[in-house]
Amino acid sequence: MNYSQEQLRDLDRITNLKLINAITGIKPANLIGTTSAEGRANLAIFSSLVHLGSRPPLLGFVARPRTEEVGHTLRNIETTGEYTINHIRQEFITKAHYTSAKFPADHSEFERCGLTPEYLEGFQAPFVKESTVKMGMRLKEVIPIQWNGTYFVIGEITQLTFPEAYWVDEDVNLEASGSVGISGLNTYYSLKKEAWHPYARVEESPDFTNE
């Protein structure tokens, strides 16, 4: 299949959404927990999380344009300066998926989707109790993206929680964690470890030219 720029523009909205969201490959599947100014717990699924740096530990994600119907996550983050990122596990994929529905601002996705808010000492935003890999985040910057009205949200990890059993050979074993990935808008994949390689150094690199 081969699409020109014009053909991509002519696709119907849903086909375009599914194609462009899927073609980048498997993405992280996370639930972002926030608290509104009124103290209401909010939860939403995101697949745009990216690593920005380790010292300080910075992560970014893309938030949709603000409207009355959507954008509760970004508004809450800007109000409180805190949020949580929680891995989605195989056991609650369906519940996590339906947090993407456009529930009214006065409804909690935790309640509507059967997930449990968990509050850790010193942190206002709710974690997802059912998740086993969780990050507490402090907002650092919100960058408007002029091309489509979205926002790139940058935060710093201030709290990190996961079972010791997931830390294997100085690496996080995501297969053991049961965490899942997303392709497109509504397709979920399990994670399987296929290989391990040492840190790449020029002097230790194999000679692939003779293959």
**12-33 pLDDT tens trace:** 988 888 888 888 889 999 999 9
Res 181: pLDDT: 95
| Interior/surface letters 68-107, b for 16+ CB within 10 angstroms, e for the rest | eebbbbbbbbeebebbbbbbbbeebbebbbebbeebebee
The Cβ-side half-sphere exposure at 158, using a 13 Å CA radius, reads 18
Res 1: pLDDT: 84
Q: Which tokens belong to 21?
A: 């969201």
Res 65: pLDDT: 73
Domains of the chain are: 17-204 (2.30.110.10)
Residue 166 φ/ψ, nearest 5 degrees: -80, -15
Instruction: Give the CA angle between residues 74, 78, 128 to the nearest 5°.
Output: 60
Taking residues 150-175, what's their average pLDDT?
92
Write the CA distances from 111 to 42, 63, 70, 114, integer angstroms: 9, 22, 18, 5
Calculate the CA dihedral of residues 109, 112, 114, 120 and round it to 10 degrees.
Answer: 30
Res 68: pLDDT: 53
pLDDT tens track for 92-133: 999 999 999 988 878 899 999 999 999 998 889 999 999 999
Is the confidence at residue 69, as pLDDT, over 60?
no
